[in-house]
Amino acid sequence: MIKKVFIAAALFCSAGFAAQAQKYSIVIKGGHVIDPKNNINSVMDVALKGDTVMLVAKNIDAKEGVQVVNAKGLFVTPGLIDMHSHNFFGTKMDQTYSNGPNALPPDGFTFRTGVTTVVDAGCAGWKSFPDFKKQTIDVSRTRVLSFLNIVGEGMRGGTYEQNVEDMDAAATAKVAKEYPEYIVGIKLAHFNGYNWTPTDRAVEAGKLANIPVMIDFGGSQPILPIEELFMKHLRPGDIFTHCFGQLASREPIVDVKAGKVKPFVYEARKKGIIFDVGYGGISFAFSQAIPAIKTGFYPNTISTDIHTGSMNNAMKDMLNVMSKFLAMGMDLPAVIKASTWAPAQAIHREELGNLSVGSRADVSVLRVLDGKFQMNDTGTFGFFDYTGTKVQGKQKLEAEVTIRAGKVVYDLNGLTNPIVVSRR
């Protein structure tokens, strides 16, 4: 009996020493790495230790990892960044996206689609941000950042978002500067008046806090001209979201009759205006996106505008939106860049969205599904917009493994060995 105890103790100690001898916590083996920041587009291995990327190279010894992810035949990318999301969920049923029912708890909708970072797009204003931080940011496994709404009450809907008197640039900037770790920009959304004051106050807050502004025109009659928005009101680095929207209440970037991107839109891009997808419920139309993509006008950043209204409609999730851009003609590296490194740059979080040594250990392992094998009848996947327009695509993206802060938080098919999916 004593002998058996000694043997068991010896085996336990040797296993412990072996784990200590391993250099990395996770080694991702055999995947095709796409890291746009570092111009990597090749089959390579990735080694992580704790919350840090340690090495990207060929033929890293799998024995040096406590866990090994088999990524053969898959694509390994930085963790996806959804730069337009709505996450201030709550129980105040009359407050829509601000502590209300239209927003979503991030962890339920991120990791299963390869997303490791979301940026809440203006659900909270300077009055409500502390509550948002306490009940969402502080308790989420997903990294949650925020565009702070120029409206003090946040995205409460109705008359609240039309109240110019509640658009306080100084108060908004003050809160942004108090929470620099979390607040990455200022948001204007849903204002319906023919009035530049809300835009100018948002930009003023951005100037005071030295952060970018994201503009979502709610619409107006007559329509506010977007050329004036780009050239006279926004700064280089400010963000125009819903860039492929086509609604009667706001001006589109593609001339509907000519089917061409308007010339001043190219000038705005040269100026440094960032064009973000912000897909949403009715804020994306193929009639805008297809002509733009065909002429090489790609969005700077791909994002979902995910909320309870968009997630079960044409938008669905981040990977579905990315797959639509593959179907329209963007290549995979361009789509990955617009979903990782480009949004990291737009929100000035360059430690994210890349696999540089020393960067954060957020990684997505993606499968590119082939319509020939998945859709036997047509050989293609069907993608549609809210108008009913349908586009066929030969490929569709699916998340296999998601790693957040150096821990496996999602594994679709058990590709991690040993399988230990972190619960917290």
Alpha helices for 22-153 (secondary structure H):
129-135
**Mean pLDDT of the residues in the chain:** 94
How many Cα atoms occupy the beta-carbon half-sphere of 202 within 13 Å? Answer: 34
| Per-residue pLDDT reduced to its tens digit, 1-27 | 444 444 444 444 444 444 457 999 999
Are the CB atoms for 299 and 243 separated by under 8 Å? yes
Q: What is the pLDDT of residue 309?
A: 95
Question: Measured between alpha carbons, how far is 278 from 82 in angstroms, rounded to an integer?
Answer: 9
Q: What is the pLDDT of residue 3?
A: 47
Query: What average pLDDT score do residues 38-42 get?
Result: 98
How many Cα atoms occupy the beta-carbon half-sphere of 44 within 13 Å? Answer: 16
| Per-residue pLDDT reduced to its tens digit, 43-85 | 999 999 999 999 999 999 999 999 999 999 999 999 999 999 9
| Per-residue pLDDT reduced to its tens digit, 256-280 | 999 999 999 999 999 999 999 999 9
Are the CB atoms for 225 and 196 separated by under 8 Å? no
The one-character DSSP state at 226 is H
Query: What average pLDDT score do residues 198-223 get?
Result: 96
The one-character DSSP state at 147 is E
Q: Using the predicted structure, report yes or no on whether residue 306 has a pLDDT greater than 70.
A: yes
- pTM for this entry: 0.94
How many Cα atoms occupy the beta-carbon half-sphere of 47 within 13 Å? Answer: 16
| Per-residue pLDDT reduced to its tens digit, 318-329 | 999 999 999 999
Least confident of 158-162, 207-211, 225-229, 402-406: 158-162
Q: Using the predicted structure, report yes or no on whether residue 302 has a pLDDT greater than 70.
A: yes
Question: Who has greater pLDDT, 219 or 206?
Answer: 206
Query: What average pLDDT score do residues 402-415 get?
Result: 98
Question: Measured between alpha carbons, how far is 285 from 315 in angstroms, rounded to an integer?
Answer: 11
Question: Measured between alpha carbons, how far is 216 from 343 in angstroms, rounded to an integer?
Answer: 17
